[in-house]
Every structure is written in structure tokens, then in C-alpha cells.
Amino acid sequence: MSAAAGKRKVKNIMNREKLLLDMFSALHGELGSSNWWPADSAFEIMVGAVLTQNTNWKNVEKAIQNLKQRNLLAPQTLLDLPQDELAALIRPAGYYNVKAKRLRNLLLWFDDIASCSFSALDHMSLDELRAQLLTVNGIGQETADSILLYAFKRPSFVVDAYTRRIFNRHSLIEEDIMYEDLRDFFMDVLPHDVHLFNEFHAHIVRTAKKWCTKSKALCETCPLRSFLE
């Protein structure tokens, strides 16, 4: 790479960092703190990350409440529960047989690698822990990053369909961009800060639901309207 090309690359990275931070500031100024993920414990977040696959949060809340009412929301307790009973309890979350199996896979991994202790994984780097999570059958990239960011408090940026929609409409990414490339779009330039990643992802979701909907873009009142140019 020539010196000139190297300078252009550095400039482009700096420009993207500034743009993303400016967009975050605009969203945060309009929306305030999001206080995500709503849960009483890191383990509850881990369970919720599996249950929220292909459903809305209200359904997840009903499933988690079923577990709480029976004092089952603990790693070893859920592991000891027969899979069909677990499936029946999480039925409100949909795809309950599939999710019961995926949740059990995650619990078996957690027990095997750390005896169900979050602190036992403190020595692992973000990349090592992410690679481990992705070996669990039923845990995809978005679910793994959600668990890393919200349960393990690791700076792993979560991207989803909302992220793709908003940033494609702002002509910053291609619509068919791969998950890892979209994640890198943020991870490569932003400070690796858990609070920043938490709030940014939450703001993206809230913006997509209120202004940048799938069927209609309400750009005139959107906090990101000044970035359309």
C-alpha cells in the first residue's frame, strides 16, 4: 500500500468513526438512555437471548415469567428439568421445542466450560468467548453477540435487520451485506465500550420501530434526518 493510499484509509476510518458517533449523539439526544437489557440477572439475559429468536419481546416476557413463577430460572435447575417440560413452560415464546433444545445446548456448554459461573470465563478474550459460543448448536451470530454484550458485558456490537435497514437507507452499507461485515462496520472504528455498544444497538432498534419502519420511512421527524445527505 502506498503512503497516499494509507493516508486515505486512515482518513476514511476517522470519517466513519465521527459519522457513527455523531449519529449516536443525535439518537441519544432524542431517545435518552434505553436501559437495555431488561432482566434481573445475567443468566436471565442469556435465556432471553435464545427465547427472543424469531419472536417479539412480549412473548419472551411471558415465557420467562413462567420460569420465574416456578423458581426455575437458574442454570442447574433448568439443566435438571426434562426438555419436554422446559418446552411447555417456554411455549409463549414460539418454536418452543426448538428453543428448548437450543437452550439446553447453551446450558450444557455453560456447565461444561465454566460450571455455570460467569466469572470463570473472565480470563477469556472477547474473540475466544465468541468463538466458543458459536460452537453451540442453535446459537448464531446475533444471539452470541447479544449474550456477549448484555450478559457477559463484553464489547461485541450487535447488529440485526434493523441495523441493516437504517444504514442501507442512509446509503452507508449494501442491503445484502454479510453479518460479520456489518458488525465490523461498527467494531472497526468505534471505541470498544460496553455502554456505547449497548445504547447504540438499543437506539437503532427503537428508531427502526418508531421511524424507519419496514413499510415506511418517516424521515421528516426521525432523529437521523440530518444525516440523509
Q: Please state, in angstroms and rounded to a whole number, the distance separating the CA atoms of residues 189 and 23.
A: 14
| Residue 122 and residue 71 share a domain | yes
Q: Please state, in angstroms and rounded to a whole number, the distance separating the CA atoms of residues 195 and 184.
A: 18
- pLDDT for residue 100 is more than 80: yes
Predicted pLDDT at 182:
98
Q: Confirm whether 50 is domain-assigned.
A: yes
Predicted pLDDT at 10:
42
| Residue 200 and residue 141 share a domain | no
pTM attached to this predicted model: 0.92
| Residue 145 and residue 89 share a domain | yes
| Residue 49 and residue 18 share a domain | no
Chain segment 138-163, per-residue pLDDT in tens: 999 999 999 999 999 999 999 999 99
Chain segment 218-227, per-residue pLDDT in tens: 999 999 999 9
DSSP codes, 153-218: --------HHHHHHHHHTTSS-TT--HHHHHHHHHTTS---HHHHHHHHHHHHHHHHHTB-SS-B-
Predicted pLDDT at 14:
67
Q: Confirm whether 37 is domain-assigned.
A: no
| Residue 146 and residue 53 share a domain | yes
Q: How many domains does the chain have?
A: 2
Chain segment 35-93, per-residue pLDDT in tens: 889 899 999 999 999 999 999 999 999 999 999 999 999 999 999 999 999 999 999 99
Q: Which domain holds residue 117?
A: 42-151
- pLDDT for residue 8 is more than 50: no
Chain segment 178-194, per-residue pLDDT in tens: 999 999 999 999 999 99
| Residue 122 and residue 72 share a domain | yes
Final residue before a domain boundary, out of 132, 151, 170:
151
Amino acid at site 35: N
- pLDDT for residue 24 is more than 80: yes
- Quick one: pLDDT band at residue 229, thresholds 50, 70, 90? confident
> First CA to last CA across the chain, in angstroms?
31
| Residue 128 and residue 56 share a domain | yes
